[in-house]
Copies of this chain bind each other. A is one copy, B any other.
Amino acid sequence: MKDMAPDYIPTLDDVIAAHERIKPHIHRTPVLTSSYFNQLTGAELFFKCENFQKAGAFKVRGACNAVFGLTDEQAARGVATHSSGNHALSLSYAAGRRGIPCHVVMPRTAPQAKKDAVIGYGGQITECEPSTTSREAVFAEVQARTGAEFVHPYNDPRVVAGQGTCSRELNEQVEGLDAVIAPVGGGGMISGTCLTLSNIAPHVEIYAAEPEQADDAYRSFKAGHIIADDAPDTVADGLKVPLKDLTWHFVRNHVTDILTASEDEIVDAMKLTWARMKIVMEPSCAVPLATILKNPEVFRGKRVGVIVTGGNVDLDKLPWFKN
């Protein structure tokens, strides 16, 4: 089976333009270090804390780039997406900053806390049934009615270029990086990382980290073509979606390797990070550290950037409480 070629592959110029465009709307997030984790791993780890980002996740970079790149005419009709996660929050935040509508299609079964968060950022929710058929039908109806611009959570050059600004900052903040590791779900962050670093620091190794229970990117990488899973289940709920043509392009061409971790390893790494670094981060963000702890020989002696992708976690349902 031949994979589709993407329509447009963003360039470093797109990343630089994105960075200028979104700077007023995002944080230049800090990089934290931990002597505890350095001792434990034998590597020098530099945690790029996108959990401190606006709307609590890196996705605001891509969302802002898409929203603020629209013409006034496009913008007047608003933006639309289907997501119940950080992309919905981020697009709502970005649209709010520009003062335009943001339409979000969400399953009616999504947790009320997620709906409230989207509404809190000014998004307008249209509910669908929890099925792909219903979601697509409802989304088509919303788009037809509003003329809103669709901003895909990751398979969109504007979004990938926006996410690429994160490793551009990281490369400025940390001298002499040997490697960078980020989680891979749909592949927006890892693609932005590949795009930027392959241009400005091509010697830096790029690792993607994935849950064993949603390892479609790992299997795609080994097979040489996209393998999409049907409804994988993992605590790292941001990483359940499959690669698409644009993100597969970057993974295939620029990723050094993909490493995986079990559910227990992810939860242990998450809890250990909260306990030792005193930061709140999502299960998805713990996957890179879990794979570093599992494969210390890959990282020992290296200066490694670790992208902490977000901090939007339900504090009433922490995964180390088994009940």
Q: Interface of A with B (CB < 8 Å)? A: 30, 32, 49, 51-52, 56, 271, 274-275, 277-281, 311, 315-316, 318, 320-321
Q: A278-B311, A280-B280, A315-B320 are in contact. List 16 more A-B contacts (CB 8 A).
A: A49-B278, A51-B278, A52-B278, A56-B278, A271-B315, A274-B315, A275-B280, A275-B315, A278-B279, A278-B281, A279-B279, A315-B318, A316-B320, A316-B321, A318-B318, A321-B321
Interchain CA distance A281-B318 in the complex, whole Å: 16
Q: Give A48 Cβ to nearest chain B Cβ, in Å.
A: 13
Q: Give A320 Cβ to nearest chain B Cβ, in Å.
A: 7
A281 CB contacts on chain B under 8 angstroms? 278
Interchain CA distance A30-B311 in the complex, whole Å: 18
Which 4 A-B residue pairings sit nearest by Cβ, starting from the closest?
A278-B311, A278-B280, A51-B278, A274-B280
Q: Give A111 Cβ to nearest chain B Cβ, in Å.
A: 14
Interchain CA distance A279-B114 in the complex, whole Å: 20
Q: Give A285 Cβ to nearest chain B Cβ, in Å.
A: 10
Among A275, A281, A311, A316, which residue has the most Cβ atoms of chain B within 10 A?
A275
A321 CB contacts on chain B under 8 angstroms? 316, 321
A316 CB contacts on chain B under 8 angstroms? 320-321
Measured CB to CB, the nearest residue on chain B to A49 is B278
A52 CB contacts on chain B under 8 angstroms? 32, 277-278
